[in-house]
Amino acid sequence: MSQAKAYADCDVDAPNLHLISHQDAVPAKADYYGLPKASIDPQVCIECDECRQKCRFDAIAYKDIYKVDYFACEGCGVCKLVCPVEAITLLPSIAGELMLYKNEQVFSTAQLKMGSGTSGLLVSRVKKQLRDNSNADFAIIDGSPGIGCPVIASLSGVDTVLIVAEPTLSGISDMERIIKTAKGFGVKIAVCVNKYDTNLEHTKRIERYCLNNGLSYAGRIPFDKNAVLAINNNKTIVDIVCASGIAAKRVYNRVMELLLAG
Amino acid sequence: MRACTMAGKKIAILSGKGGTGKTLIAVNLAAVAEKAAYIDCDVEEPNGRLFLRPTGVKEEQVTVKIPTVNNALCNGCRKCVEFCAFSALAYTNGKLLIFEEICHSCGGCSLLCPQAALSEKDKVIGHIEKGKSGSIDVSTGILNIGEASGIPIISRLLKDSLSGQDSLSFIDCPPGSACIVMESIKDADYCVLVAEPSIFGAHNLNMVYELVKLFNKPFGAVLNKCIEGGNPSEDFCTEKGIKILTKIPFDKELGLLNSNAEIAAKKDIKYNRIFTNLLYNILEEASYQATTNS
């Protein structure tokens, strides 16, 4: 709805934004190389067991020969370092795919390859790809869930975060944890409540929490079956006329006020 | 029920996104199984304990090894900086800097330092809570705010909670399909994939579907929050031949109970039936797939 010239989906292990982004063009794709993976040459290996003992990720096992577990290996290179006979090489490994849609709007997204670990690094690449391909002064980033490395990578360098909370005890616990994480980045924080009418008591609790903690409150979005219907028709909730869409527009306006308040 | 043959089995509950109903399903399954273990591996956002309210909770800290430098010995050769695959070390202004949050604790730098200027210290990244909720053993992993990876917590949590566990275990996984989820399902005997009825839901279901296929885990799907009209997740299951374990309708009452962290199966016989049936289906499927795969 902001007609943003630049946006990115940083939920690299389950990206969805491309499904409703109205981008008809085929994206430019690029392989994303994560950290390399170790490989042991059984012809050279003298079975000294050094690598297995020193690997902190339990990625090396002995069963007839010494072998690296591709999924457990983090590519740190310790095995190669300790191998007395240079039997180990680190091989490049494709860990995902970066995608860039470039029309009037630039949309950067990626898909982590199944079984790959380095999602934080891929999130940083998605953001870098957006910066390198757009000179827009405003960008929207769809973050990843949780508080760990992909979230930290999503948060870094942003001006304002909008935290979407649910009015459930679980949702409140999650919200408090992401607020503390975001505070560590010194960014402006706004909170909105999604599906607010599913539990008004908890919605009010979240609103009180924001007030008591000096956080900007960006508003309530109701539970709306039209949201599912919109998504299933490849539309966003602001593309159709519905209660959740109208509420989302108000949330957007308040977040923009906060962002521009300097 | 063939539950006896399933003693000690480990059931993982996972989904592509948060908020699909993993915790709802995991805690209610544990509640209807009665004698069970509930293990919360969603260490970034652990919520199961809010529902199960365990008592007699004991805490254990989880630590990882982090390098520490003795500046008197460091001669600035930068071998550690060049070695570190995670860029957790930098040498500037005559000083070695260590970025603890991005260190993966591989131990390489202290192994390699020619001056023996680097050694390792323990750093607390979170903790594990263990308690009892009736006859359910409740274990929760909790990552400290600001830490990047909960994997060491999950690995320790599963090792501790699963060893010697002779009742059914329910592993509540983090959302997504990345490394943290792979760690959580590593020891699982059966995976339950939870999906919402939208094209987002179907897309996210596809992600976890590919993950469990890759790891060769037997699995089935639970379609949650079903409403009238089409269900792209159900279409996906039909197309891929995925066993649908149950369909849970969208239900305001269930949503309200869940939002107050109440265990629906304990509050209302109709929900108890839903989850008892689901448990039965899971055990049937798991033992069937175990026999056909062995």
Per DSSP, the three-state class of A120 is helix
Phi, psi of A251 (to 5 degrees): -60, -45
pLDDT of residue B293: 59
B194 domain residue, yes or no: yes
Q: What CATH number does residue A57 fall under? A: 3.30.70.20
| pLDDT above 50: residue B143 | yes
Do both A235 and A171 map to the same domain?
yes
How large is the average pLDDT for residues A167-195? 94
Q: Which residues contact A117 (CB under 8 A, 6 or more apart)?
A: A34, A71, A74, A95, B178, B179, B182
Q: How confident is the model at residue A1 (pLDDT cuts 50, 70, 90)?
A: low
* Token pair belonging to A150: 């992909």
Q: What pLDDT is stored for residue A2 in this prediction?
A: 67
Q: Could you tell me the pLDDT band of residue B281, with boundaries at 50, 70 and 90?
A: very high
Is there a single domain that holds both residue A17 and residue A120? yes
Is B50 close to A35, i.e. CB distance below 8 A?
A: no
The minimum CA-CA distance between A184 and chain B, rounded to whole Å, is 7
Q: Are residues B29 and B98 in the same domain?
A: no
A61 and chain B: CB distance < 8 Å anywhere?
no
Give the rounded percent of residues in chain A with a pLDDT score beyond 90: 74
Residue A142 lies in a domain: no
Q: Which of residues 205-244 of A touch B (CB under 8 A)?
A: 225, 228-229, 231-232, 234
pLDDT band at B89 (very low <50, low <70, confident <90, very high): very high
What DSSP character marks residue B144?
A: P
Task: Clarify whether residues B14 and B73 are in a common domain.
Answer: no
Quote the mean pLDDT of chain A.
Answer: 92
Asked whether residue A115 falls in the same domain as residue A200, the answer is no
Confidence of residue B237 (pLDDT cuts 50, 70, 90): very high
In this complex, the residue of A114, A119, A177 whose CB is nearest that of residue B45 is A177
Domain count, chain A: 3
Domain assignment present for residue B144? The answer is no
Type and span of the H or E element at A40: strand A37-40
Domain count, chain B: 2
What pLDDT shows up at residue B180? 87
A100 plus A87 within the same structural domain: no
Q: Which member of A150, A170, A229 has the closest CB to residue B47?
A: A170
Q: What is the mean pLDDT of residues B96-109?
A: 92
The answer to whether A61 and A72 are in contact (CB under 8 A) is no
* Mean pLDDT score, B153-170: 90
Q: Is the pLDDT of residue B1 over 50?
A: no
Q: What integer is the mean pLDDT of B22-40?
A: 95
A 85-124 residues with CB < 8 A to B: 112, 114-120
Average pLDDT over residues A223-248: 91
Query: Quick one: average pLDDT of B10-20?
Result: 93
- How far apart (Å, rounded) are the C-alpha atoms in residues A70 and A38? 8
Residue-number span of the structural domain to which A119 is assigned: 9-34+94-137
Residue B4 has pLDDT above 70, yes or no: no
Cα within 13 Å of Cα(B98), Cβ side:
20
Q: Are residues A104 and A120 in the same domain?
A: yes
* Measured distance between the N- and C-terminal CA atoms of chain A, rounded to whole angstroms: 22
What is the strand order of the sheet A160-165 is part of?
A160-165, A188-194, A216-221
pLDDT in tens, A78-96: 999 999 999 999 999 999 9
Q: Give the residue among A139, A166, A119, A101 at the shortest CA–CA distance from A10.
A: A119
Assigned domain for A200 exists: yes
Same domain, A43 and A114: no
How sure is the predictor about A125, in pLDDT bands with cuts at 50, 70 and 90? very high
Residues A105 and A21 in one domain: yes
Mutate which of B199, B223, B227 to disrupt the A interface (most A C-beta within 10 Å)? B199
CA distance B209 to B191: 10
What is the model's pLDDT at position B178? Answer: 84
- CATH number of the domain at B234, please: 3.40.50.300
Q: Are B38 and B52 in contact (CB under 8 A)?
A: yes
B160 within domain boundaries: no
Q: Bigger pLDDT: A108 or B1?
A: A108
Say if residue A130 is in the same domain as residue A228. no
Mean pLDDT rounded to a whole number for chain B: 93
Q: How many CB pairs under 8 A join A and B?
A: 164
Q: What percent of chain A has pLDDT over 70?
A: 98
User: What's the token pair of residue B197?
Assistant: 């009825």
Point out the residue among A76, A184, A198 whose CB comes nearest to the CB of B146. A184
**Within-domain flag for B116:** yes
pLDDT cut 90: percent of chain B above it: 82
CA gap B39, B10 in Å, rounded: 10
Residue range A242-253, pLDDT digits in tens: 999 999 999 999
Domain for residue B158, yes or no?
no
Choose the mutation target among A168, A178, A236 for the interface with B, i.e. most B CBs under 10 Å: A168
What average pLDDT does range A21-28 have in this prediction? 80
**Domain range holding B248?**
2-35+167-293
Kindly tell me if the per-residue pLDDT of B212 is higher than 50.
yes
pLDDT of residue B2: 45
* Alpha-carbon distance values, B66 to A78, B10, B99, B110, B112 (Å): 15, 32, 9, 10, 14
Residue A147 lies in a domain: no
Q: Indicate if A98 and A15 belong to the same structural domain.
A: yes
Chain A positions touching B26 (Cβ under 8 A) are none
Quick check: is A191 in a domain?
A: yes
Q: Structure pTM?
A: 0.90
Is B40 a residue whose pLDDT tops 50?
Answer: yes
Count of CB atoms within 10 A of residue B262's CB? 18
In a domain, B178, yes or no: yes
